[in-house]
């Protein structure tokens, strides 16, 4: 199952697509990315997501 690990430093959040071996953006990866973006959207510590 693909994951999207998130690291928050200062004002930005770094997202990493983790779907080995090729990091193909399939439906499951898109869903995981969407869930991660939704979770950081309301985080006042994050001004900019970076991926």
pTM summary value: 0.70
Which 8-state DSSP code applies to residue 7?
E
In a domain, 1, yes or no: no
Scan for tokens 């430093």, then name that residue: 9
Instruction: Give a yes or no: residue 38 inside a domain.
Output: yes
Residue 16, domain member (yes or no): yes
CB 36 within 8 Å of CB 49? no
- Please, which residues bridge with residue 5 across strands? none
Residue 23 inside a domain? The answer is yes
Question: 18 with 25: CB under 8 angstroms?
Answer: no
What does R_g of the chain's alpha carbons equal in angstroms?
11
The model's pLDDT over 1-51, given as tens digits with 9 standing for 90+, comes to 568 888 888 888 888 888 888 877 888 888 988 988 888 888 888 888 776
Domain hosting 12: range is 6-50
Number of domains within the chain: 1
DSSP state, residue 20: T
Q: Does residue 14 fall inside a structural domain?
A: yes
């Amino acid at each position: 199952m693909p994951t999207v690990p998130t690291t928050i430093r200062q004002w930005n959040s770094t997202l990493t697509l983790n779907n080995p071996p090729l990091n193909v953006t399939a439906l499951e990866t898109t869903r995981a990315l969407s869930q991660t973006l939704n979770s950081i959207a309301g985080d006042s510590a994050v001004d900019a997501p970076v991926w």
